[in-house]
Amino acid sequence: MAYGKDAWKNVKKEQPIGVFDSGLGGVSVLRELVSLLPAEDFIYFGDAAHAPYGERTEREIRALTTAQVDRMAAEGVKAVVLACNTATSAACAPLRRRYRQMPIIGMEPALKPAILSREKPRVVVMATHATLRQKKFARLVARFKDAGEIVKLPCPEIVEFVERGEIHSRALHEYLEERFSSVLQTPVDCVVLGCTHFPFVREAIREVVGQDVQIFDGAAGTARELKRRLREADALQESGQKGAIEWLSSSSDPNYVERLKRLYAL
C-alpha cells in the first residue's frame, strides 16, 4: 500500500488525524493534540488486544503498528501520530518510507529538554525495555552523554497498572519505590517519562522522587511537530467548530472505549 503523491494532492483539511497507541497511554498525547489543534478531527485507536508492546520483539511491534497505520491510511486520515514511544522506535522510520507523502509523527523521550534544563544534570529515563534497547534511543543518549548523567530505568509494569486503571494504588506506589530505590541513592535532577502511559502516574512518581525533581514528557513537543508538518503541507484546519474524536480499540472488553473516554476526561 502506498500513500502516493497524487493521493496527497487530494487531501482535504477537514480529513481526520489518526492517533495510534498500544492501549490507553496515547490518550495523554491526544489531550495535548486537541489542546493545540482544537479544530481538528481525530481517530484514536488503542491496540489493547496486543498490549503491552514493551515486552514484544521489534519485528512484532513493527508488524502490529504497520497494520494499524495501513488501516488508518485506508480510511483517509491526513496524518498519523504514533502516540507510543515503543511503536515509534520500532516502526516510525519504515512507516515514513512506506507513506512518503503523509506526515507520520512519532514520540521521542524528552531527553533534550531535560539535559538542557541545567548544568550537567543527572537524568533518569523511565521507559519500557523495548524503548530502552532500541538503536534510536541509543543514538539519542550518545548525542547528550557528555552534557549530563543519563540513567536508564526500565519500568514496563507501569503500562499494566495504567491499563488496569491503577493510577493511585498502593501497589503502584510500592512498585515505584522499588524501582527508584537504588537510583535515588544519588540525587536526581530530572525524570523523563519515556512512555505515553507514564504521565497518568506522574503524581505517584512525584511522591517518590520528591518535589524538587523536574519531570518531562514528550507529548507537547509531538503536538507542536504535528502542527508544523500540517501547516507546511497546507493541511492544517485552523477555523470552524471544535473537532470530534472517534474512539476505536481492538480490546474484547466492551467497556474499553468508555475507559479511554474517562481517562481523557481526567
Q: Is 84 known to be catalytic?
A: yes
State the sign of the Cα–Cα–Cα–Cα dihedral 122, 127, 130, 134.
negative
Positive or negative torsion for Cα 146, 138, 82, 260: negative
Q: With beta carbons less than 8 A apart as the criterion, state whether 22 and 51 touch.
A: yes
First to last CA, the chain: 38
Which entry of 84, 92, 155, 190 is annotated as an active-site residue?
84
Rounded to whole angstroms, the Cα distance separating 189 from 183 reads: 11
210: left (phi over 0), alpha (psi -120 to 50) or beta: left
Q: Active-site residue among 92, 155, 190, 195?
A: 195
Distances 215 to 36, 77, 86 between C-alpha atoms, Å: 21, 32, 20
Sequence length of the chain is 266
**195 catalytically annotated:** yes
Cite the active site residues: 84, 195
